[in-house]
Chains A and B, each alone.
Chain A
């Protein structure tokens, strides 16, 4: 492996890990607080991507400064994601809280199916392009390697989200209340924490993060049907490796899978897809609850 390949692997690994983290962190947050494995996260991702592509398209027709385009992208995604989150939680999930965890997975799966087709109803079956932010960001050279500045923005966004999550969860009052709910829902409720409100907010924030992931990726990809289906299993892999509900876990999981894939793409392209789930299966084989979560004791 020469220097050049090593640089590419480092860069690709980081960019892919940033993408994975942004997508997976919302899923992990929702699981941590609500114990719901949210399959509909893939739907939020796709809606975020479509909303951002539409917003970028509309913005590109105006002569407003280009920087505003990034703002439009983020705002469109967060608004759509939070709206979906609210509707799903209040409209559907709330009815199933007394059911098994596995049954709730199926409920979110149903929600995912519905979101997939709503997407077609709203945007049709064609694909959207939203390359403008990518173009506006431009390229830079490090040595003889071309880097898209947009990739650096992606990495920056991931770091920013991780920092914000850490700040909110550990430093703010809301965050500490949330940690109490994570540790013991019933006790937290007994202490006067409004768990129902916490659930609504968490789900909306988690969904908005999923949508933000889609929006940030929109300029890099062709926004088309099926992107949600692909991303949901990737996000599962990341949170399963790191441990469901653990934010540090999502960071480490994203880095592990991001780099595993980057190594595979550059050195052994045949195993590209295999390696992602290979890492997941390998970690789960030794640490069933992921790297950062302790197993719970069995109930007698």
Chain B
């Protein structure tokens, strides 16, 4: 089900795209990284609506990035669009396969198993000399619509690609979250058995979420590889996944555009913290994370979306979760 309001985010991104020539380089770089991370976070939000937190989304992020880098290295294919589709498909496929295993898990066990799986990929990448071990390797030159993208233009073109991907992904995410399967997430978070009594398969719903989130993370990884021009195993390490979860908390489960706003704020915060207090930026981030969890449990996304949730205050995820806790 498509609504015209879904086009709001793409419209804003289109405006950003047109203003790119007037934006400073650092802002474009920050935005590109933020949009790529935002894609991963969007996937995490889709899962979090169902009460699931993946501490291993770096798995799909790294898969997407390495898929892109490897296609460029091993085959003559170098078109960015093909690379994006291939990376998202690869990560989505792996997520689909992994889904058969992890759709049975919840809460901390879900978080731990996803963590283990991403650390397996990290372990493999670190020990594979052909892929540069811990150093990773550089991404070769890529092209768009048959034209090679020179290094000076790489970041700007990647920025356009990131805007386009984020637009498509946000429309898909909004449509999915409104669908029956998507909106089953919140009751599912409260009580699975009741959802099953309604005739829905909880396992399939979660499986779909894992797959969608994986594909989005793969796309984010591909864009990061295209923009930065380098891939390394750190992308699959648990600290990278932790960073994504951090942004997800900042964004909250309420709003799709929130994912991108939070990712952008996170990048700004980190850049700023690194400048003012280079040896204490994690301290600042940690403090901020605590403050967000304590004072803004619904994240900044709640500030962005009002209409949809406010009309039915009793069905907000926060309220149901609290109610469930109060009962338990």
Which residues in A have some Cβ–Cβ distance to B below 8 Å?
Answer: 37, 92, 95-96, 98-103, 105-107, 109-114, 116-118, 120-121, 125, 229, 232-233, 236-237, 240, 244, 269-278, 280-281, 284-285, 288-289, 298-300
Contacts and interface: CB of A to CB of B under 8 A. Distances in A.
Contacts of B239: 229
B313 interface: no
A102 B111 contact: yes
B290 interface: yes
A299 B289 contact: no
Given A105-B55, A113-B289, 11 more contacts: A101-B108, A106-B53, A106-B289, A106-B293, A109-B289, A110-B287, A113-B283, A121-B283, A229-B239, A273-B126, A280-B116
Interface of B: 51, 53, 55, 101, 104-105, 107-109, 111-113, 115-117, 119-120, 122-124, 126-128, 191-194, 238-239, 242, 245-246, 249, 279-283, 285-287, 289-290, 293-294, 297, 321, 325, 328
B123 A274 contact: yes
Contacts of B297: 99, 103
A37 B120 contact: no
A120 B117 contact: no
Given A113-B282, A277-B120, A278-B120, A244 B289 contact: no
The prevalent SS among residues of B at the interface is helix
Contacts of B287: 110, 114
B127 A281 contact: no
B92 to A, nearest CB: 20
Contacts of A300: 191, 193-194
Nearest to B123: A273
Contacts of B107: 100-102
Contact of B193 (A106, A271, A298): A298
A252 B14 CA distance: 56
Given A102-B53, A273-B122, A240 B279 contact: no
A274 B55 CA distance: 18
Give the 4 A-B CB pairs with smallest separation, nearest first.
Answer: A273-B123, A113-B286, A117-B283, A114-B286
Nearest to B328: A299
A37 B199 CA distance: 34
Nearest to B98: A281
Given A102-B108, A114-B287, A117-B280, A109 B242 contact: yes
Contacts of A95: 294
A110 B115 contact: no
A229 B283 CA distance: 15
Given A113-B282, A117-B280, A273 B109 contact: no
B53 A281 contact: no
B279 A285 contact: no
Contact of B321 (A100, A112, A281): A100
B316 to A, nearest CB: 15
B245 A117 contact: no
Nearest to A113: B286
Given A101-B108, A125-B279, A112 B328 contact: no
Given A229-B239, A273-B126, A298-B192, A106 B245 contact: yes
Nearest to A285: B101
Contacts of A275: 123
Contacts of B120: 274, 277-278, 281
Contact of B127 (A240, A273, A284): A273
Contact of B293 (A37, A103, A240, A299): A103
B75 to A, nearest CB: 25
B290 A37 contact: no
B325 A92 contact: no
A100 B189 CA distance: 11
A298 B239 CA distance: 32
Given A272-B127, A273-B127, A299-B191, A233 B115 contact: yes
A95 to B, nearest CB: 6
A273 B101 CA distance: 21
Contacts of A240: 112-113, 116
A103 B146 CA distance: 47
15 contacts: A92-B290, A102-B108, A111-B290, A114-B282, A118-B283, A125-B279, A233-B115, A240-B112, A269-B127, A274-B123, A284-B105, A284-B109, A284-B116, A288-B109, A298-B193
B108 A37 contact: yes
Nearest to A114: B286
Contacts of B285: 110, 113
A178 B55 CA distance: 30
A233 B120 CA distance: 11
Contact of B116 (A98, A102, A118, A281): A281
Nearest to A36: B108
Nearest to A281: B116
Contacts of A37: 108, 111-112
Contacts of A103: 293, 297
Contact of A110 (B113, B289, B325): B289
Contacts of A236: 112, 115-116
Contacts of B242: 109
A96 B53 CA distance: 17
A274 B119 CA distance: 8
B162 to A, nearest CB: 26
